[in-house]
Structure 1
Amino acid sequence: MDRRDSARIEERNNLKLALATFALQLDAFEMRVGGGPSRAGIKREGSALPADLRHEVQEENRGARR
């Protein structure tokens, strides 16, 4: 295998790792924003959303439960 091939393989592996890391971070963000269960089932006091958007999401959630 020449140097160029090994560099491409290494770059591909780095991109796979970056994509997997991003997917995990996105899942964690969606859990926080979507009001899903947090670690150990403890609700967080704060929110990742500004107050006006948080209110909008809460209203949508109330409407979905009805």
Structure 2
Amino acid sequence: MQHTDPIPAAHRRLLTRPGAKAYLAVSQRKLDSLVAAGEIPVIRIGTCVRFDPADLEKCIATWKSA
């Protein structure tokens, strides 16, 4: 029996701030304001901040519908 992974490989890896800003094609200032406004959730691992690509896709989807 073959097991298929329900999560695509592109969505398994967490992104750093530079990775998230590149993914969204926004400036660091804009990324920080989106995080501060609660529009993009962050994952904190100790002092590190990471972003889930699925959350970034949701943000993009809201921009498309606005």
Please give the TM-score of this superposition, normalised by the length of structure 1. Answer: 0.26
User: Which structure is larger by alpha-carbon Rg, 1 or 2?
Assistant: 1
Hey, which of these two has a bigger chunk of helix by percent?
Answer: 1
Name whichever structure is richer in strand by fraction: 2
Give the TM-score normalised by the residue count of structure 2.
0.26
